[in-house]
Amino acid sequence: MKKVLARTAKIVLPILLGAFILYWVYRDFDFARTGETLAHGLRWDWMALSLLFGVLSNVVRGYRWRQMLEPLGINPQAQRCVDAVCVSYAASLVVPRIGEVSRCGLLSRYDQVPFSKSLGTVVTERLADTLSILLITGITLGLEFPVFLTFFRQTGTKMPSFVHLLGSPWFYVALFCVVGVIVLLVYLARMLSFFERVKGIALDVWQGILSLRHVRNIPLYLLYTLLLWICYFLHFYLTFFCFPFTEELGFQAGLVMFVAGTFAIIVPTPNGAGPWHFAVITMMMLYGVSDTDAALFALIVHGIQTLLVIVLGLWGWLHLTLSK
């Protein structure tokens, strides 16, 4: 019974958290405008180009993952690695952060790759991604530091009085995000403690983590990493040209919102729903976009990108099934 409740909580709580933040952000929004924009005001040619880079990001991540598996004596098909990555993102829509585990399970099932070793490579992959986004964040802070200061002030981070802080609605949105991250960290800590108790599995995981040390072509690995983050950025930035009220926003504005949105996705909600909208809308308003237009942008872009994740997940699952 306890296991059932725990599993249910892992699914329900992130959805409730995302739903609460979305409700707060869109409580006064006119949703009728969304349909009008999709029918007449959206540049679908730019959106298609953006989605292309969304697809390419999964391909690059799959090939980079395969390169990390090679030092372990594992040589899965590149297409299966890509398919597993696509399915993992779709799985995370149902249970946030389950994707890392699910793609290792898929590769184990369809290509006989040891689950624990592949899980270790995913841990290393996430560490590499963390270093990458920290580097991007550092560059962005250097370019647009005043914008971040304004963002912190408006969200109640540096208010002159504690009473005023408690009166800021954005403070409670940020609080829910922090709570979500803490829950995620506790969950990961429990997973690590489990692996520590099982010595054989822990050793395989550790070998997977160290696989980066033995990657044969480090320049290629770095190139994959660079291309991956370029694809992620263009997947977001090109959507600016889909709307008349954002097409004049520059490259630096795109970097700021990309960084803010990337950190917001850390909060364990389905595809970052809620925290991502909050971060992007707030940052976009600092660049002169009205709150209504910013909310419309976030709603449409996130909705279409989430639909892409679902489609790619279904395609990956079908391709894996048929290939077997």
Q: Has residue 319 been placed in a domain?
A: yes
Let me know: does 209 contact 119? Beta carbons within 8 Å: no
Range 34-50 average pLDDT? 87
User: Is 14 exposed, middle or buried (CB count within 10 Å of its CB: 0-12, 13-18, 19+)?
Assistant: buried
Q: Has residue 9 been placed in a domain?
A: no
Pairwise CA distance, residues 113 & 104, whole Å: 8
Let me know: does 275 contact 21? Beta carbons within 8 Å: yes
What confidence score (pLDDT) does residue 161 get? Answer: 41
What confidence score (pLDDT) does residue 159 get? Answer: 40
Q: Has residue 50 been placed in a domain?
A: yes
Least confident of 22-36, 86-100, 157-171, 304-318: 157-171
- Kindly give, in sequence order, each residue whose CB lies less than 8 Å from that of residue 265, ignoring residues fewer than 6 positions away: 271, 272, 275, 276
Q: Has residue 20 been placed in a domain?
A: no
Measure the CA dihedral 101/2/200/216, to 10°.
10
Return the residue matching tokens 């270790």.
120
Pairwise CA distance, residues 100 & 116, whole Å: 12
Number of domains in the chain: 1
pLDDT, one tens digit per residue, over 281-318 is 888 888 888 888 899 999 999 999 999 999 999 999 99
Q: Has residue 3 been placed in a domain?
A: no
**pLDDT-based confidence at 321, cuts 50/70/90?**
confident
- Taking 90 as the threshold, does the pLDDT of residue 22 lie above it? no
* Best-predicted range by mean pLDDT (4-18, 50-64, 165-179, 237-251): 50-64
Range 118-141 average pLDDT? 84
Q: Has residue 23 been placed in a domain?
A: no
Let me know: does 313 contact 90? Beta carbons within 8 Å: yes
Q: Has residue 228 been placed in a domain?
A: yes
* Best-predicted range by mean pLDDT (11-15, 128-132, 156-160, 296-300): 296-300
pLDDT, one tens digit per residue, over 262-283 is 888 877 777 778 888 888 888 8
Least confident of 114-118, 186-190, 191-195, 314-318: 191-195
CA distances from 312 to 118, 143, 203, 260 (A): 22, 35, 33, 25
The residue type of 102 is S
* Best-predicted range by mean pLDDT (17-21, 79-83, 152-156): 79-83
- Taking 60 as the threshold, does the pLDDT of residue 155 lie above it? no
Let me know: does 121 contact 69? Beta carbons within 8 Å: yes
Pairwise CA distance, residues 277 & 293, whole Å: 12
- Taking 70 as the threshold, does the pLDDT of residue 19 lie above it? yes
The pTM of the whole model exceeds 0.95? no
Q: Has residue 1 been placed in a domain?
A: no
The domain of 76 spans 41-323
* Best-predicted range by mean pLDDT (9-18, 159-168, 195-204): 9-18
